[in-house]
Amino acid sequence: EKNGTIELLGKTYKTDHVTNIRSSLIPKIGIGLHNMKHHPLNLLKRQIVDYFYKNFINRQKNPVFSVYDSISPVVTLHQNFDSLLVPEDHVSRKLSESFYLNSEYMLRAHTSSHQSDLIRTGLNAFLVFGDVYRRDTIDSSHYPIFHQAEGVRLYRGQELFSKMNITGDYQIFENGEKNETKQPLHTKEAVMILEHELKSTLENLAFELFGKDVETQWVDAYFPFTHPSWELEIKFQGEWLEMLGCGIMEQEPLTEAGAGDQIGWAFGLGLERLAMRLYSIPDIRQFWRYNDSGFMSQFDVKDPSTPIKYKEVSSYPQRIYNMSFWLTDGYSENDFYDLVRNVGGDVVEQVRLTDDFYHPKMKRHSHCYEIVYRDMSKSLSKEEANIIHKQIGEAASKELGVENRW
Residue placing its CB nearer to ligand PHE in the complex, 73 or 393: 73
| 266 lies in the site for ligand PHE, by CB under 6 A | yes
Q: Taking the alpha carbons of 95, 99, 101, 107 in that order, is the dihedral positive or negative?
A: negative
State which of residues 32, 73, 247, 264 lies at the interface with ligand PHE (CB under 6 A). 247
Question: Alpha-carbon distance 92 to 252, whole Å?
Answer: 20
Site for ligand PHE, residues 357 to 396, rule: CB under 6 A: none
* DSSP assignments along 251-263, one per residue: HHHHHHTT-TT-E
**Of these, 40, 73, 245, 253, which contacts ligand PHE (CB under 6 A)?**
245
- For residues 5 and 27, give the distance between their C-alpha atoms in angstroms, rounded to a whole number: 16
Q: Which of residues 52-71 bind ligand PHE (CB under 6 A)?
A: none
d(CA 73, CA 225): 20
Alpha carbons 312 and 304: distance in angstroms, whole number: 20
CB of 150 to ligand PHE, least distance (A): 6
The stretch among 239-247, 283-291, 367-375, 398-406 that binds ligand PHE (CB under 6 A) is 239-247
Q: What is the 8-class DSSP label of residue 390? A: H
C-beta of 105: minimal distance to ligand PHE in Å? 19
Does 73 sit near ligand PHE (CB under 6 A)? no
**Torsion on CA atoms 100, 104, 107, 113, rounded to nearest 10:** 140
Site map 184..223 versus ligand PHE, x via CB under 6 A: ---------------------------------------x
Task: Provide the minimum distance between the beta carbon of 186 and ligand PHE in the complex, in angstroms, as a whole number.
Answer: 16
Binding of ligand PHE by 268 (CB under 6 A): yes
Longest dimension (CA), the chain: 77
Helix residue ranges per DSSP H, 216-284 = 251-256, 271-278
Determine the Cα–Cα distance for residues 199 and 248; give it in Å rounded to an integer. Answer: 11
Helix (H, G, I), strand (E, B) or coil at 26: helix
Classify residue 95 by burial, with Cβ atoms within 10 Å: 0-12, 13-18, 19+.
middle
- Tell me the residue number closest to ligand PHE, measured at CB: 268
Residue 9 CA to chain centroid, in angstroms? 20
Which listed residue (34, 93, 108, 110) binds ligand PHE by CB under 6 A? Answer: 110
**Strand pairing category for 66-68 and 125-133:** parallel
Is residue 112 close enough to count as binding ligand PHE by CB under 6 A? yes
Q: Applying CB under 6 A, does 246 fall inside the site for ligand PHE?
A: yes
The residue range among 95-103, 139-147, 245-253, 288-296 that interacts with ligand PHE, by the rule CB under 6 A, is: 245-253
Residues 293, 294, 299, 302, CA torsion sign: positive
**Where does this chain touch ligand PHE (CB under 6 A) — which range of 42-50, 158-166, 240-248, 277-285?**
240-248
Stretch that binds ligand PHE, among 199-207, 262-270, 300-308, 323-331 (CB under 6 A): 262-270
Nearer residue to ligand PHE within complex by CB, 149 or 340: 149
Cβ distance to ligand PHE smaller for residue 209 or 380: 209
Min separation Cβ 182 and ligand PHE, Å: 16
Closest CA to 123 of 320, 258, 32: 258
Can you tell me the distance from the alpha carbon of 370 to that of 319, in angstroms, rounded to the nearest whole number? 10
Provide the 8-state DSSP code for 182: B
Residues of span 143-182 touching ligand PHE by CB under 6 A: 150
Which is nearer to ligand PHE, 118 or 388 (by Cβ)?
118
Q: Using the rule CB under 6 A, is 226 a contact of ligand PHE?
A: yes
Q: How far is 6 from 377, CA to CA, in rounded Å? A: 31
How many residues sit close enough to ligand PHE to count as binding (CB under 6 A)? 11
Judged by the rule CB under 6 A, the positions of this chain that interact with ligand PHE are 110, 112, 150, 223, 226, 245-247, 266-268
